[in-house]
Structure 1
Amino acid sequence: MVLENPENDDPGLLVQEIVRRIVRDTSKMAVSFTPELDVRPDLLGNFVGGQSYWSPQGVPVTSASGDPLYPLMQIRCTDPNIPGYPTQGLLQFLIGTDIMYGCDLSADYDSEVDNDNRCVRYIPEAPSVLDNSEIVRLPHIGTDSDPDLHTPFCSNFHGCALRPELIEDPVSHECDEFEPAYESVIAEFDPAVISAAESALGDLEQEVMDQLNVVSPGSWFQMGGHPVFTQSDIREDYDDELVLLKMDSYDDVLMWGDSGCANFLIRREDLARLDFSHVLYAWDCL
């Protein structure tokens, strides 16, 4: 297949067409969550952060040492939902309060089952109303708290609701899938057209990456779709791993180190079994 209208020598139009085809070939369904900073968290809904969360019998989730894990985010799986992911109940993400926020950079999927300093908890059936005895209140970790307690949340942030929306998420250039997708699309064009564009632009691939960033939905918090990395792709086999949650740094809400991002990745077979004990949790920054 060659470029439509090959007589057109506008390299900008070529970049747009390459990006369109990469989006076509790589987009995955996802749920994007937008913070509603002025809306208080609903402990039975979608929310990020906060001083309290709900737990049966009001018992906080703790590490083996007895330290409470801190509520990072909760997803209500009922609506909207995407194929292959839970369609009911709640997913809760809790992290440790050490300097790495409960992350073990040496962990893999199998060893994560032994990491008690983070937790992904699935609650298949959520009640319609909470009793006060089920609400766990943890101290807000901010500038005046114990200096040995750490979270990625900004000190003046006390949690907010999240507005979900279905999106189509194309691959980003930070993912290993980008390069084969780019090469596959480039092969669809006349080599002379590609060569002329390279001469005119200097770096065609960089132009494509820049334009792909422009057209991508730019979700800050997301379930499904593609992960996001600031340094390099940490996955070994991206064909069999799904994004349970990705969280980018977001001004006035949370900051992963120096403008970093976090990913919670799960193997397809584990998600099908609703087994969240092997979720790979990692974050990196600039």
Structure 2
Amino acid sequence: MNTSSCDATTPLHAENIQTINDDNIPDNKIPADILQKIIGELMMKYKKDGVLLNLEVDKKLTPINSCVGGVPYFPKGMEYPMADGQPLILLCQINYSEMPKLANFPTEGLLQFFIGTGNYYGTEHSKLIYHKTVSLELNQSVPQSITDVLKNALKEDLPFKGAFRLTGKIGETFALPEDRDTLFEKLAMKYSVNSWDIEDDVCKATDSLTTIKSQYGGCPNFIDENVYEDDRNTKEVLLLQLASEEYKRDEPRYYKNEWSKVNYCQYGSGFFFINGEKLKKLEFDDVTYTYDCD
């Protein structure tokens, strides 16, 4: 069976299964009620919880809040992260005490994601810093010399366009296994349909109903699945997916004429992956940062 037509790591949120019908799955070969049962069965077997992230403009962010962009937490005694003599930019920081609890992830402390200001959305340089203890009383101002450099860097082609508060909720995603030929054949026998049709219709349903969201801990949503092949077996945990996101029509904007909050080639995402054992030990010195786009 040819499996190249369907992204094996595309997540579909559980609440969307009931919306499957003949109208939103074009040219489906399997009746919608049967397709609902098939996808429901797949989700029960391969579902995975993650924290789905919401981005909102907030001009009252403090340095200890979860955010994309904005002013980083910079406690006394911390050296500001640099690369090639230039300060790195805060892409995101997550205060886990503000987030719902997720298995194997911290329940306290703050994790910062710093990136470079060069080409390829800063992937040439990145650094993660974890603070187990977080307090505004420990915070200090970022030196003016660094602030000036950062202000100029913000005019460059960075993946975020402002400062946004992050809030999270637990959500279910699922990802089809890469080797799924036998799986589809068993389902075809069970539901008296063609295994090729299962592949085609499941892929159509996934494409039609998936909403690409910023998240962590769940199944990554790749446009180009080949973008992350080398480290997939050793860095298997999604530490962060920051997805391209446009403002809703009536939503407050950070910049009046800006149309996007996050922009990785319009529809892409930035990804950070870590080894599961490293995550449990709160060791963030070996993390892969990459991105993909349409």
What's the TM-score once normalised by structure 1's chain length? 0.75
Correspondence for 1:194: 193
8 Å Cα contact 2:58-2:163 kept in structure 1: no
Match of residue 281 from structure 1: 289
Query: What corresponds to 1:232 in structure 2?
Result: 225
Aligned to 2:261: 253
Task: Output one character per residue of 1:28-59: Cα deviation in whole Å (capped at 9) or x when no partner.
Answer: 11111101224643321211112x22212386
In 2, distance between residues paired with 1:161 and 1:271? 24
Confirm whether residue 53 of structure 1 aligns to residue 72 of structure 2. Answer: yes
Paired with 1:85 and 1:59, the residues of 2 have a C-alpha distance of 23
The answer as to whether partners of 1:45 and 1:76 remain within 8 angstroms in 2 is yes
1:166 aligns with: 170
In structure 2, the CA distance between the partners of 1:42 and 1:22, relative to structure 1 (3 Å rule), is farther
Following the alignment from structure 1 to structure 2, what is the Cα–Cα distance between the partners of residues 192 and 139? Answer: 63
Inter-CA distance 147–118: structure 2 relative to 1 (3 Å threshold): closer
Identity of aligned residues (%): 25
Structure 2 CA distance, aligned partners of 1:265 and 1:48? 18
Structure 2 residue 104 is matched with structure 1 residue 84? yes
Name the SS of the counterpart of 1:54 in structure 2: coil
Cα deviation, residue 170, structure 1 = 1.3
Report the counterpart of residue 152 of structure 1 in structure 2: 159
The Cα offsets for residues 200-251 of structure 1, whole Å up to 9 and x where unpaired, read as xxx54232123235555x3521110111211124134646510100111111
Q: Does 1:211 align with 2:205?
A: yes
Amino acid at match of 2:189: D
Q: In structure 2, what is the Cα distance between the partners aligned to 1:179 and 1:245?
A: 21
CA contact (8 A) 1:270 1:276 kept: yes
Give ranges in structure 1 of 5+ residues lacking alignment: 1-8, 105-116, 172-176
Contact kept, 8 Å, 1:33 with 1:221, in 2: the verdict is: yes
Give deviations 1:248-280, integer Å, cap 9, x for gaps.
Answer: 111121111242111100011211221111101
CA distance in 2: counterparts of 1:146 and 1:125, whole angstroms: 29
Amino acid in the other structure paired with 1:224:
G
Q: Any residues of structure 2 matched to 1:34-53 within 5 Å, and which? A: 34-38=54-58, 40-50=60-70, 52-53=71-72
Given that 2:269 and 2:293 are in contact with CA atoms closer than 8 Å, whether structure 1 keeps it comes out as: yes
Tell me the CA shift for residue 61 of structure 1: 2.9
Could you tell me how far apart the structure 1 residues matched to 2:61 and 2:180 are?
A: 39
Question: 3-state DSSP class of the match of 1:188?
Answer: helix
Inter-CA distance 15–183: structure 2 relative to 1 (3 Å threshold): farther
> 1:31 touches 1:165 (CA, 8 Å); kept in 2?
yes
Give the unaligned 5+ runs of structure 2.
1-28, 247-259
Partner of 2:49: 29
Aligned residues: 248
> Residue type matched to 1:168 in 2?
E
